[in-house]
Amino acid sequence: MALHRLTSITMGVPNVAETATYYTDFGLTPDGDGWFTTQDAGRQLHIVHAPTRRLIEVRVGVDDPDDLAAAASRLERIGVPGESNGPSLTAYDKATGVRAVLEIAPRLVQPTVPATPYNGPGRRDRVGTRAPGVLRSTPVRPRKLGHAVVGTTDFDATTAFFRDGLGFKASDYIKDNGAFLRCSTDHHNVLVLKAPVTFLHHTSWQVDDIDDVGRGATAMLEGHPERHIWGMGRHHAGSNFFWYLKDPAGNFSEYYSDMDCVVDDQLWTPEVLEGAKGLFSWGPPPPPSFLHPEDLAALMTGTHSAER
């Protein structure tokens, strides 16, 4: 596809310093001016001040100027102006105010991480040694930014902006409420959620495997049990293992591994998911605060504060 990866996001929060400390604990590396890097993909998170927590910008990699021109044409067809600036194209989603920047960028090639050997019925892939996952002692560092989830008061308009304008592909839908959209071979890079107010629901960060999902979350919860939201579990849409935590601004952050990969669009058929199937295949049920974050009413009335 012409779009090939989610290069970075900008997150606005009222409490920048406190939130920055959280994402440093989460395993991202501070890189100056509010930027944080991942192991494989460089600068991927920018934290800036905003009156309320929100997704401010999404940057997406494309291959060449022809891809930018094609996106400009698609945006024009749905009535959204695009501003060309050399190797990039900028447009705004009217419903959420999110700024999307398509930029010419190299494709991400991640180093191959050897598969963890697992024993099973009639299969001994690991003998004479303990599982690698119980021997690891280094801190978990996310490999790359996987996706961002944005709540919108106009679900159809925001979905159309990303899918019909920018050129994201649809992977699955949550009936009347959600659209899993991809700008890479990952199952989704943006999830659009129907909501009573615009807000950033969560960001998701790839780690090596299920052991690092668990190790990362366990480390984050040491001394901070209030950070726990939901996990461990496995999603149906995307199939990935997950564990969700909450940052000091109220945004959720997810460690994930084993995401579905869509290499040939013709071989993938989007589903319309209903009920619990749209959320998870196994694991504890999601808490009410995951589906309806506790500060939504304050966000709607403009009384939100980072001091909760």
3-108+140-301: which CATH topology?
Answer: 2,3-Dihydroxybiphenyl 1,2-Dioxygenase; domain 1 (3.10.180)
Q: For 51-107, what is each residue's pLDDT tens digit?
A: 999 999 999 999 999 999 999 999 999 999 999 998 999 999 999 999 999 999 999
Q: How far apart are CA 85 and CA 201, in angstroms?
A: 30
Q: How far apart are CA 166 and CA 134, in angstroms?
A: 43
pLDDT at 226: 97
Give pTM, 2 decimals. Answer: 0.96
Percentage of the chain lying above the pLDDT 90 cut:
93
CA distances from 42 to 56, 74, 115, 297 (A): 19, 29, 23, 36
Judge whether residue 304 has pLDDT over 70: no
Q: For 196-246, what is each residue's pLDDT tens digit?
A: 999 999 999 999 999 999 999 999 999 999 999 999 999 999 999 999 999
CA distances from 275 to 252, 284, 296 (A): 21, 15, 22
Largest distance between two CA atoms of the chain = 63
pLDDT at 308: 39
Lowest model confidence (mean pLDDT) among 118-132, 217-231, 267-281: 267-281
